[in-house]
Structure 1
Amino acid sequence: MSDNTRFACNGKHFTLIRHPAKHQHVSLQAWDSADELIIDHIHTALNGSVGECIIFNDDFGTLGCYFAAQTPCWVSDSWIAHRSLADNLAGNDIPMQLAADERVASPVKAIDCLAPLPASPDTVIIKIPRTLALLEHQLIALQKVITPHTTVIAGAKVKTITRSVLALFERYIGSTNTSLAKKKSRLIFTTVSEENIAQTATSPYPTTWQTEAQNGQPLTITNHANVFSRQSLDIGARFLLAHMSVTNNERIIDLGCGNGVLGLNALALAPQAKVTFVDESFMALASAKANVAANFPDALGQCEFIPSNCLDGLKQKQVSNFSKVFCNPPFHQQNAITDHIAWQMFTDARTVLARGGQLVVVGNRHLDYHVKLKRIFGGVTQLASHQKFVILCSAKR
């Protein structure tokens, strides 16, 4: 096992991976210096005891594993984070149980960001997420359950701890200060204010806005806090919408669906098509389901909403009868720029497509997706292009 999987802190030793381990780049590891600072502070200031604890946004389960013996509630919007937690508990011989939805049930209680939080926690640990709106959603939810006796500790890379981040803690929780920077990370300490938690703020999320499908049909779009392009249609999706082709007898996948706008467009073009929405974000899937219900309520029965790392969930079922996969791939995982997600999305799509089925991808020109697609599928066709984006199509032979 390589050095980037061995984590040691305050006398505890773990082997930690990023799910899926087979795609983990040798330069990436499952923890960062903010995890170490949080653990060191709790060891020093709280004698290692967190009591009744809630842990937010633990990217790959490092904090969940470290504090597993204290049975924390563990909150993440990411399916990959949930799978990483399960993998790392198992990989370190920590006895665990999984719930029916494959999330960890014990010793860590793993939930998503739309589930209710346990009341009156002694300690709250927050890894600052990439999305400011998600942090705001979480702090508003916390405001309803914390007490003046709750210890609130947050951590992140220095560049992530902006004035906007600190202002959210001040607004919803109480007076806030930070530690000195160490290894390019620092901590946030917030003293819970009785006045703040008495406010019970109303969340501005989810947000709702209007757009239209390729055929002009109006669409009402609802986006939860952690969903990409939360207030309008992003440029890549808008470009792909104009060039989608779907017929009623097709089974399609909206891969990395976000709010589900590509799948919604498919239903507008072909009301009897069967659409599978796949994303690793629970908030994305909740948004997509709400949007189908609002715009195509009669089509809910022909739609699926699957949390998955790329298309692992469908590959495990050995499904290979889809006619089209539409995809606007991400090129980052948490704070790391990476192309392995696009690679896996493309190879997974080839696996689940029927012979002759097509993968249709939109992406920035500079990402060179045509090279990857040609290697995986043996050929690629450019369907459309403009100054910034290109739409590519590869068929399974």
Structure 2
Amino acid sequence: MDFPLDALRRWPDLEGLDLPATDAADRLILDESATARAALGPGELVVVGDAYGALTLASAADGATAIRVHQDPLTGEQALAANAAALGLTGRFASEALGPEVAAGARVVLLRLPRSLDALRDIAGLVAAHGAPDVVVFAGGRIKHMTVAMNDVLRGHFDRLDVTHARQKSRVLVARGPHDGRDPEPARTTVGSLVVCAYGGAFAGASVDIGTRFLLEHLPAPPAGEAIDLACGTGVVAASLATRHPSLRVYACDQSAVAVASARATVAANGVADRVEVARDDMLRSRRDASASFIALNPPFHVGASVNEGIAPRLFEDAARVLRPGGELWTVWNSALRYRAALERIVGPTRQVARNSKFTVTVSVRR
């Protein structure tokens, strides 16, 4: 393959020598699917889970047009667009939500296997329901992140499953013969008085993770009748604040498409959708400087499967930008990560509100 995969960048996501924009699994998926892709017409190729554009742009360079793409992280969409512009491939694809439109009539699907079996189940069911009768799915990943259970999920929606030879610690599952298709529906659980909804792949699923639970035990009533739930996940904090404080308005945001869909379902299930705005946003990019008085945050600390302490400080910086002087950032974090110094430096004076065997809750006041 002559396509310059190594030229791709992760920007605006975190970049570094140990954070490549593509890997051997992308190359194997492209090689295994080359013959099938060569026979496609416009709009017959769908790409799901393409981290930063390797699968989409290499296919476009090979001649594919009107490619439909779904990426869960907003930064993935932004990186794909930036890489396409740099390589002169803008206009060869369109980013879509994970719904019937992205899969309709697809004959070939290139899929980076998600770590969540529920996410894979949602994708497989969607393709089986809306793809062409002869659709072929090339689902690949790094062997260390693949399980036999993934084969079982695909067999639940496809008649035939072939497994390729491993190469450079990567493998591809090839699925044909769609059956038993279905559109994704969120799981739904009642936790205390709160209904939690989650589509496949949302962090913590239809439950309340222990860090969020600890944060909720200590959050006060936000001042000025407004609050922001940053990196909102399934919307548990936003829905909880809105139900506790009937006059409160909440802006909840996350860069994950599945998180945003889940959060919208959660706030609707709890009857507070009229007071909670849920948006897909890269941190708080759509919010004005010095426009908020109260932000709650349970920051993620993984990039893919790896712990990376560079994520939270970026969220702290954007929270500091959006907070008014005197505004408060309430944060829960794994105590081993020792974020207090960063919060002091980036936001302002920070005090510990609570601490248990695993988590710390702090409040930082914007200086």
Work out which of the residue numbers 18, 25, 30 in structure 1 matches 2:21: 30
Paired residue type of 1:58: D
Distance of aligned partners of 1:41 and 1:121 in 2 relative to their CA distance in 1, 3 Å threshold: same
CA deviation digits over 1:250-294, x for unaligned, max 9?
Answer: 321111101111111211232222211010112222222222223
Q: Quote the residue 2:318 is aligned against.
A: 348
CA deviation digits over 1:6-35, x for unaligned, max 9?
Answer: xxxx112253111315x4123211111110
Q: Quote the residue 1:128 is aligned against.
A: 113
1:245 counterpart SS class: coil
Distance of aligned partners of 1:129 and 1:50 in 2 relative to their CA distance in 1, 3 Å threshold: farther
Aligned-residue offset at 1:138: 0.6
The alignment status of 1:259 with 2:259, answered yes or no, reads: no
Q: TM-score, normalised by structure 2?
A: 0.92
The alignment status of 1:169 with 2:164, answered yes or no, reads: no
Q: Quote the residue 1:157 is aligned against.
A: 142
How many Å separate the matches in 2 of 1:277 and 1:245?
17
Q: How does 1:62-141 map to 2 (within 5 A)?
A: 62-68=54-60, 69-70=63-64, 71-96=66-91, 107-141=92-126
How many Å separate the matches in 2 of 1:120 and 1:201?
15
How many Å separate the matches in 1 of 2:72 and 2:217?
30
How many Å separate the matches in 2 of 1:200 and 1:48?
26
How many Å separate the matches in 2 of 1:223 and 1:165?
20
Bigger mean CA deviation after superposition, 255-264 or 107-116: 107-116
CA deviation digits over 1:302-349, x for unaligned, max 9?
Answer: 4322212222232xxx33221111111111122332122211111110
Q: Quote the residue 2:253 is aligned against.
A: 278
- State whether residues 277 and 304 of structure 1, in contact with CA within 8 Å, keep that contact through their aligned partners in structure 2: yes
Q: Quote the residue 1:305 is aligned against.
A: 278
- State whether residues 248 and 271 of structure 1, in contact with CA within 8 Å, keep that contact through their aligned partners in structure 2: no
RMSD: 2.0
How many Å separate the matches in 2 of 1:390 and 1:63?
40
How many Å separate the matches in 2 of 1:173 and 1:141?
12
Paired residue type of 2:52: F
Aligned-residue offset at 1:76: 2.1
Bigger mean CA deviation after superposition, 235-244 or 150-159: 150-159
Work out which of the residue numbers 203, 209, 224 in structure 2 matches 1:228: 203
2:150 counterpart SS class: helix
Q: How does 1:289-328 map to 2 (within 5 A)?
A: 289-297=264-272, 300-314=273-287, 318-328=288-298
2:159 counterpart SS class: coil
Work out which of the residue numbers 186, 209, 224 in structure 1 matches 2:189: 209
Paired residue type of 1:224: Y
Structure 2 stretches of 5 or more lacking a match?
Answer: none
Distance of aligned partners of 1:247 and 1:121 in 2 relative to their CA distance in 1, 3 Å threshold: closer
The alignment status of 1:386 with 2:339, answered yes or no, reads: no
Aligned-residue offset at 1:50: 4.5
Aligned length: 361
- State whether residues 114 and 283 of structure 1, in contact with CA within 8 Å, keep that contact through their aligned partners in structure 2: no
Aligned-residue offset at 1:378: 4.1
Aligned-residue offset at 1:66: 1.4
Aligned-residue offset at 1:47: 7.2
Distance of aligned partners of 1:115 and 1:245 in 2 relative to their CA distance in 1, 3 Å threshold: farther
1:124 counterpart SS class: strand
The alignment status of 1:16 with 2:8, answered yes or no, reads: yes
Aligned-residue offset at 1:143: 0.9
Q: Quote the residue 1:100 is aligned against.
A: none
Structure 1 stretches of 5 or more lacking a match?
Answer: 1-9, 97-106, 213-217
Distance of aligned partners of 1:115 and 1:361 in 2 relative to their CA distance in 1, 3 Å threshold: farther
Q: Quote the residue 2:45 is aligned against.
A: 53
Aligned-residue offset at 1:371: 2.3
Aligned-residue offset at 1:379: 2.8
How many Å separate the matches in 1 of 2:68 and 2:53?
12
Paired residue type of 1:117: V
Q: Quote the residue 2:243 is aligned against.
A: 268
